[in-house]
Amino acid sequence: MSFNNLQLIEPVLKALIHEGYTKPTPIQEQAIPPILQHKDLLGCAQTGTGKTAAFAIPIMQLMHQQHQAGPKGHRAIKALILTPTRELAIQIEESFKAYGKYLDLKHLVVFGGVSQVNQVNTLRRGIDILVATPGRLLDLMNQNYISLRDIKFFVLDEADRMLDMGFVHDVKRIIAKLPSKRQTLFFSATMPPEIQQLANALLVNPVKVAVTPVSSTVDIIQQSLYFVDKPEKNSLLKHLLEDVSVKTALVFTRTKHGADKVARELARAGIRAEAIHGNKSQNARQSALSNFKNRHTRVLVATDIAARGIDIDELTHVINYDMPNIPETYVHRIGRTGRAGASGIAISFCDTEERSYLKDIQKLIGKAIPVITTHPFGMIGNSQPVRPPVARPSFQKRTGGNSNGNGNRNGFSERRKTYRSSYAGRG
């Protein structure tokens, strides 16, 4: 499949060539045609799949065609993209800029934490596309700088994260101001019941598309497993962090409270660590992230939703302090290391209650994760490892192939391999 098969207009194709895109990603292949047919869309996809282009390209194409057909006058906001964080908002507006390089459409991004003066000045001059975070958008609406009455396209991006960050009321207030006749595109990486409910309330006969960006990097990441009793996880973590070869570690916990607790414990032990999750303010998250990126902190403790979209170069270790209960999440987590062909190390702690999660993960990845038994916090009592242990030093770089085979019983990573290789090095 090439972009030429997607009924795209010349200026858009030209911009894609300029960007160096040779073929659409799966979400683009599935989403662009129905959006161009004016259909509502429910997209189950996360950042990194190419979803921004999947909605930005067809929206701009439709707007361009309507713009050409209609009367020329003062511009009114016809497309609204609502996204939970400033980082995402900036990235989305940059995408509109790139894909709309040869189109006469004006766009603006608004988010809080900065002066509104420039945003208001641009709004006064007239724009077609607005990318916004909920708080600042409501502020500007309340001051009558923004009206949503001409909106024809509404995109709700990262809906699950929006709810996780407590924006549900703001989002509902904004939705209430939208015209009922509009095209709505709804994106969420996960679809828990409350997200499904929100989608049902917003969408009319939506086309459903789903992509799971499970990474093939799994095969080049050195994975290991520690069976440990829950109360010992902290001690085991500190013990592992005594190894200086752990230059940067992204530690995953299941809950926000858990993330805070682990970061606190590490800090108490003199290890530079910070937590990042949905309850933290935008500024606190941004600062934790940049501290980690420029190596002021050595350990970043995160929940899955907060860590999404975070791209950290040369991350050496991913540590699953808690086993994820959704097997694909394991693959997403460990895929944070081993980027761009670099070998990474992924360590998982598994307590008795997490055995069933481990079973599902091993089924998905098609192999058993090697177990490290030589550590001071091994399980006591009658909790035996579920698999025969394969002892291997935890931080030794792998030299050869996979000691446990590259089994790929479900064909999952093969599919991803094709997908990733299509735009290797960009994500």
Cα–Cα dist 128/78, whole Å = 5
Q: What is the rounded (10 degree) CA torsion for 262, 264, 268, 270?
A: 70
Q: Given the rule CB under 6 A, which of 17-25, 240-248, 382-390, 408-416 is the region that contacts ligand AMP?
A: 17-25
Residues in contact with ligand AMP, total (CB under 6 A)? 14
Q: Given the rule CB under 6 A, which of 44-52, 148-156, 189-197, 389-397 is the region that contacts ligand AMP?
A: 44-52
Judge contact between 131 and 89, C-beta under 8 A.
yes
Residue 119 within binding range of ligand AMP, rule CB under 6 A = no
Which helix (H) or strand (E) covers residue 84, if one does? none
Q: Given the rule CB under 6 A, which of 7-15, 45-53, 172-180, 341-349 is the region that contacts ligand AMP?
A: 45-53
Task: Kindly write out the interface string for residues 318-357 of this chain, putting x where it contacts ligand AMP by CB under 6 A and - elsewhere.
Answer: ----------------------------------------
Residue 97 within binding range of ligand AMP, rule CB under 6 A = no
Task: Kindly write out the interface string for residues 282-321 of this chain, putting x where it contacts ligand AMP by CB under 6 A and - elsewhere.
Answer: ----------------------------------------
Give the dihedral sign, CA 35/206/84/266: negative
**Three-state SS at 187:** strand
Partners of 349 in the β-ladder = 226
**Three-state SS at 49:** coil
∠ CA 31-35-38, rounded to 5°: 155
Among 15, 26, 40, 50, binds ligand AMP (CB under 6 A): 50
∠ CA 83-47-287, rounded to 5°: 70
Partners of 102 in the β-ladder = none
Partners of 77 in the β-ladder = none
Among 30, 49, 222, 348, binds ligand AMP (CB under 6 A): 49
If the CB atoms of residues 19 and 265 are measured against ligand AMP, the closer one turns out to be: 19
Residue 52 within binding range of ligand AMP, rule CB under 6 A = yes
Among 102, 145, 395, 423, binds ligand AMP (CB under 6 A): 423
Cα–Cα dist 18/15, whole Å = 5
CB of 358 to ligand AMP, least distance (A): 29
Cα–Cα dist 57/155, whole Å = 13
Residue 33 within binding range of ligand AMP, rule CB under 6 A = no
Q: Given the rule CB under 6 A, which of 49-57, 181-189, 195-203, 231-239 is the region that contacts ligand AMP?
A: 49-57
Residues that bind ligand AMP (CB under 6 A): 21, 24-25, 28, 47-53, 423, 426-427
